[in-house]
A and B are shown apart, each in its own frame.
Chain A
Amino acid sequence: MDESEKDQRELIHILHEVQKEFGYVPAQAISQISKQLKISESEIFGVLTFYKAFSLKPRGEHLITICMGTACHVRGAPMILDEFKRKLGIESGETTEDNQFTLETVNCVGACALGPIAIADGEYHGQLKTREVDKIIDKLMNKKRNGSE
């Protein structure tokens, strides 16, 4: 963080970096950024909760993202999402109690030909059927997460 300019225009860049490093923005980071940039903590809090890229809670080991774009929607994405929710026992935006899975939705990844689509730890699973949901979860459970997505 030292190299960053002490300027509001750097705030979003810094938050991106923190999010990437820790998988969320810890409270400690907020107070440090506040001191460095001379912006109030409440202002930083306001910015980071405004954008979807940043989260205040750590994510699980595995990240499953369901595309909810229009093309995916008309091709049955809500059924896929329901199945993931049911199988994992969480709502979208939540993490399982054992910290294994986080389920998120995204408004469009622009891979509409493959819809409905789920992205599991960076891997695209296209033209999904509800009965394939199990397999995706199993596959994630059976592998150690490699750092890059």
Chain B
Amino acid sequence: MDEFNTTEIDKIREEISESQKRRKTCITVCGGTGCHAYGCLKVAQAFEDEIRNQRLQDSVDVRTTGCHGFCERGPIVVIQPDGVFYQRIKLKDIKEVIAETIVSKKIIDRLLYVDPRTQEKIVHEKNVPFYKKQKRIIFGNNGFIDPTDIKDYIALDGYKALTKILFDMTSEEVIEEIKASGLRGRGGAGFLTGKKWEICHKVNSDRKYVICNADEGDPGAYMDRSLLEGNPHSVIEGMIIGAYAIGATEGYIYVRMEYPLAVKNVTRAIDQAKNLGLLGESILGSEFGFDVHVFRGAGAFVSGEETSLMASIEGKRAFPSQRPPYPAQKGLWGKPTNINNVETWANVPLIINKGAEWYSKIGTKGSKGTKIFSLVGKINNTGLVEVPMGMTLREIINDIGGGVKDNKKFKAVQTGGPSGGCIPAEMLNLPIDFETLAKAGSMMGSGGMIVMDEDTCMVDVARYFLNFTQEESCGKCVPCRIGTRQLVEILTRITQGKGEERDIEKLEDLATTIKAGSLCGLGQTAPNPVLTTIQYFKNEYEAHIKDKSCPALVCKDLIIYHIEPDKCVGCLLCLKNCPVEAISGERKKVHVIDQDLCIKCGACLEICPPKVMAVSKYTGKKRDRILKKSSQKS
């Protein structure tokens, strides 16, 4: 290990900013998982090749960075220092970008983002509406950092907070600072981070641990992954600071196995930090030593619960255990342990650098700072958004998210993953923080925000979530193991048109029992999706149960596909695409679906040309009328 002290870290910082000044232009290519899936690595490689071909490598730099957040528009390329924003870049665009934008300083119109509302073409990243209302204090650096190179992080004041606490602050002072900032855990429950640290700090023990919970299991939430992938050192620095405050010497980062890139990037980051003396014995020449390991999860949602997570690190089944004793008293291998979520850790260096006073000015009275949400589902601008606590749902969904996809009608937004609930359109003016969401029957959770439109069936959504928790229930507590199963069965029956009159009461009864009789958060919150959908969308349940109809036209057993005779032009497209040959007809003659053969796969509706739109879905009385007619004919 090289011996480093603080002045040498400063020296590195200076050297990097000097070299960056020399190579003024930097083409940053978003390297998040979303953009990976779009093929961003090939784009970055092609840029590098073209720059070499044009002999520009001394003045232009190419950097594959962390996630920029605007996944909808990937692969994303931002040309710094001006911040020219190109979206949906293809390989064939690259030569032109180099020749036009880099060499001739001209903007290529067709690669710009077009504001769908004003039809205005937007040149710079900061002016794109998706980014304009955000406050990206945690997530913003992702776009400037190559996560595979520690120097990029150091250049942006990385590890400055660590230097500050190691040499200028006592562990008590660090805890006081975090307490004063008002930072609350970003994993879902929202416990005060400084308070948590203090409890663990006060316990006497020969060994203590800190853990970073990166078992981001909520479907539809991926902000933790993007932080770990895109800016792993901010999380590591936060952990070292936490360990110093608590008195821990060893740490674990528990990463979900579904996130291979995060595992890779964080492992490399740890190695690089070790090489610079930022991890290991006597960090930066101080008396404090700390080491951190990466633990790959093995695919179990319940391991995101803190006591289960520790059992998993110990090599056991991820079963939760009774609290108290809390992990702060008796955690990993029986030793005092402090667990925080990825985003919480990433907040720590910022608070130390800028001060608790600055931090506590952001947000609401009870919830300080910003929160990263993953805005997904039926929304125009899918992506990760970081906003100050207290912003309204309406601002997030309409102004940042650009509203609901395909001009459909907004129905609900689901927050908090399988533990959360669905918030209806009437509550769009709700300012988001820990308390308001809880009051609405949902929760902050890790920050998933799934937008649902008129085509989403709320009973089906409840069934979806319960099916999820039922599968993921570890089975330790009977009410959770059997209760969730019963909930799924009742909900499934309802979606199949076999609902009975007292089903809603049964669901509510079961939900209460499961909440009261479960040991860990999974069971205690599992019924929330059912309860909130009953609370806000009871009419949909009643339509399924009483009228055997699915108003959103989702539940397969309650709908039929039908070709409108007055619209069908007889083009044979649907007929050829039907996988079960349920459609009959001839060219230029009206096609007909045989309802007995139809498997309701939707292929006909999908393929029918937008100009024609002859295929419709029906439920309820109209469905019955069509079925009656067709059986009379045959």
Contacts and interface: CB of A to CB of B under 8 A. Distances in A.
Interface of A: 7-13, 15-16, 46-47, 50-54, 68-71, 73-76, 79, 82-83, 86, 106-115, 117, 124, 126, 129-131
Given A108-B219, A131-B577, A70 B317 contact: no
B314 interface: yes
B222 A108 contact: yes
Interface in B443-477: 448, 450, 452, 456, 461, 464-465, 468, 474
A41 to B, nearest CB: 15
A110 B318 CA distance: 23
Given A50-B317, A82-B601, A70 B222 contact: no
Q: Which 8 A-B pairs have the closest CB atoms?
A: A110-B222, A52-B299, A51-B298, A113-B71, A112-B376, A69-B219, A124-B37, A108-B219
B300 A70 contact: no
Task: Give the size range of B's interface with the partner.
Answer: 35 or more
Contact of A112 (B220, B299, B452): B220
Given A75-B378, A113-B72, A130 B603 contact: yes
B33 A70 contact: no
The A interface is mostly helix, strand or loop, or mixed, namely: helix
28 contacts: A12-B296, A12-B298, A15-B298, A16-B257, A16-B296, A51-B299, A70-B219, A70-B448, A70-B450, A73-B219, A73-B461, A73-B464, A75-B377, A76-B602, A107-B217, A107-B301, A108-B217, A108-B220, A108-B221, A110-B259, A110-B374, A111-B34, A112-B376, A113-B72, A115-B376, A124-B37, A130-B603, A131-B603
B579 interface: yes
Contacts of B313: 9
Interface in B28-83: 33-34, 36-38, 71-72, 74
A111 B37 contact: yes
A47 B602 CA distance: 41
A86 B578 CA distance: 13
Given A8-B315, A47-B316, A114-B34, A107 B468 contact: yes
B599 interface: yes
Contacts of B37: 111, 114, 117, 124, 126
Interface of B: 33-34, 36-38, 71-72, 74, 216-222, 225-226, 257-259, 295-301, 312-318, 374, 376-378, 382-383, 414, 417, 448, 450, 452, 456, 461, 464-465, 468, 474, 577, 579, 599, 601-603, 606-607
Contact of A110 (B225, B461, B468, B474): B225
A126 B297 CA distance: 26
A110 B258 CA distance: 9
Given A71-B377, A113-B71, A114-B37, 13 more contacts: A8-B316, A51-B300, A52-B299, A70-B417, A73-B464, A74-B452, A75-B377, A86-B579, A107-B468, A108-B258, A111-B37, A112-B374, A131-B606
Given A52-B300, A74-B452, A115-B376, A69 B315 contact: no
A91 B78 CA distance: 43
Contacts of A9: 313-315
Contacts of A129: 606
B113 to A, nearest CB: 14
Contact of B257 (A50, A53, A108): A53
B601 A112 contact: no
Contacts of B579: 83, 86
Contacts of B218: 108
Nearest to A11: B315
Contacts of B312: 12
Nearest to B229: A110
B414 A70 contact: yes
